[in-house]
Copies of this chain bind each other. A is one copy, B any other.
Amino acid sequence: MATGRPHRPATRGRGIPEATVARLPLYLRALTALSERSVPTVSSEELATAAGVNSAKLRKDFSYLGSYGTRGVGYDVEYLVYQISRELGLTQDWPVVIVGIGNLGAALANYGGFASRGFRVAALIDADPAMAGRPVAGIAVQHADELEKIIDDNGVSIGVIATPAGAAQQVCERLVAAGVTSILNFAPTVLSVPDGVDVRKVDLSIELQILAFHEQRKAGEAAAASELSDVAELVTPVAPPVAATKRRADDGSEGPDGLSAVMPA
């Protein structure tokens, strides 16, 4: 989700809904696996199972791309792989720069999934002069001073930010000023960018916190159910499980106004 844009309708350009676009890579991956096993055709039901979605949703998604199926038979795997690839823009080469070659940046540089679908790591950039020249994943790290030149020389339009949070906004601005119009942000910060620039963020901490919420809820529900022996509670939980919110683990880390338990990130 891009930040700092005044909210355009989700379905833009032709008319492919954003939610559908987000699922196309999923279908593509499943189709690629089928293609490797030389499976010629696949039904919406089979493919949907492989991709982990509803078959009706899959068919509707594909209907936005056009009518690529054959009724009574299914979809031609190879043809669909090509159509989705083309729709996603994967039939062309996308040079990408990774900024911030710490643990995460190095992991990203080594990640095979980058190179496999038209994405090419054009450069690794770090602000630490000691990193300059050091090879990571077979590519020599370049100093941040070179950022603008690298982007210009390679025609880079996609940048990956893997710096500490404090440096992210500044790096972002330099990337944008140099011509980058899509940013994948791993730093735990809200980036503000001008209109026309897309930002997607990957935030490990947020994902964990969402899991913790559900985990707490599950623990609370289970405790409430076992304590009250009220089975109906499980089906339609009405009252909040007050006394059961802090079950599990030993806890004890929650003060009266409990602020000590929360540490600034």
Contact = CB atoms under 8 A, between A and B. Distances in A.
Interface of A: 3-4, 12-14, 21-22, 24-26, 28-30, 32-33, 35-36, 50-52, 78-79, 81-82, 85-96, 102-104, 106-108, 110-114, 116-119, 155, 157-158, 181-184, 188, 190, 192, 196, 198, 200, 202-221, 237, 240-241, 245-246, 248-251, 253-254, 257-259, 261-265
B210 A25 contact: yes
9 interchain residue pairs of minimum CB distance: A89-B216, A113-B205, A103-B107, A52-B190, A116-B265, A182-B211, A25-B209, A25-B206, A107-B107
Contacts of A50: 190
A264 B196 CA distance: 31
A3 B51 CA distance: 10
Contact of A82 (B14, B221, B258): B258
A116 B205 CA distance: 9
A24 B209 contact: yes
B209 A52 contact: no
Nearest to A16: B213
A205 B239 CA distance: 41
A13 B241 CA distance: 8
22 contacts: A12-B217, A13-B217, A14-B237, A25-B206, A28-B209, A78-B259, A82-B257, A87-B213, A88-B216, A89-B212, A89-B215, A92-B249, A92-B251, A92-B253, A111-B204, A113-B265, A116-B264, A117-B263, A184-B211, A198-B211, A198-B214, A202-B204
B184 A208 contact: yes
Given A13-B217, A215-B89, A261-B91, A200 B190 contact: no
A124 B22 CA distance: 31
A26 B254 contact: no
Nearest to A94: B212
Contacts of A215: 89, 94, 157-158, 181-182, 198
Contacts of A157: 215, 219, 248
Contact of A12 (B29, B81, B112, B237): B237
Contacts of A211: 158, 182-184, 198, 200
Contacts of A35: 264
Given A21-B210, A106-B107, A210-B21, A254 B91 contact: yes
Contact of A206 (B26, B108, B181): B26
